[in-house]
Amino acid sequence: MGCQTSIVSEIVEKGGDYVIGLKGNQGNLHESVERYFADVSPEECEKSDDTSVLYHVEKGHGRIEERVYVIDEKVRWLPGFSKWAGLRSIGMVMSKRTIGDKQTSERRYYISSLPCDVESFAQAVRNHWQIENGLHHVLDVSFGEDRSRIRSSYAPENMAVIRRMTAYEESESDRHDR
């Protein structure tokens, strides 16, 4: 986490904003945000001046995806608040995916330098997943990463770096071609 706080400081120093996904390995911070959002429903959040909520539904490819984005500006209570440059909000995304009669759901938690603007928060989260999904598609389909038999020494790590550099270059050239 120390590495992320230094990266966040650089982003803020250069005038940028950040939205960082919290994971279980971030201990108290992740647990605190998770507990905070566990105690309130999106409907309750809509009544608060410090919180914004956005509902979004997508249908396509044989599935329905429902997402609820919640962003809240009450952050000074967070453990380690002062270590995070520009920290202004916490966010949650509740996702429910329905394919046929099967449903899955998950919650993801974030910290951010964004103000309580749920549309900007939702856009940042969605853009991250579009990039992530595009990269995985290139790695799996174009480079056959999942089928790779490279297993010894540092070779798997080295090949992963080369594939990602190449995938990034490929996606950059695609963007410039449009």
Q: pLDDT tens for residues 53-96?
A: 889 998 988 889 999 999 999 899 998 899 999 999 999 999 99
State the amino acid at position 158 in one-letter form. Answer: N
Tokens of 87: 């920290």
By mean pLDDT, which of 32-41, 46-55, 74-83 is the weakest?
46-55
Pair 128, 20: CB distance under 8 Å: no
Pair 55, 35: CB distance under 8 Å: no
Residues 122-166 have pLDDT tens digits of 998 888 555 455 555 555 666 666 666 767 787 767 777 776 677
Task: Break the chain into its structural domains and give their ranges.
Answer: 2-114
* pTM, rounded to two decimals: 0.70
The Cα 30–Cα 37 span in angstroms is: 11
38: exposed, middle or buried (Cβ count in 10 Å: 0-12, 13-18, 19+): exposed
The residues pairing with 58 across neighbouring beta strands, listed in sequence order, are 65
Pair 19, 91: CB distance under 8 Å: yes
The Cα 140–Cα 47 span in angstroms is: 44
Tokens of 58: 């997508």
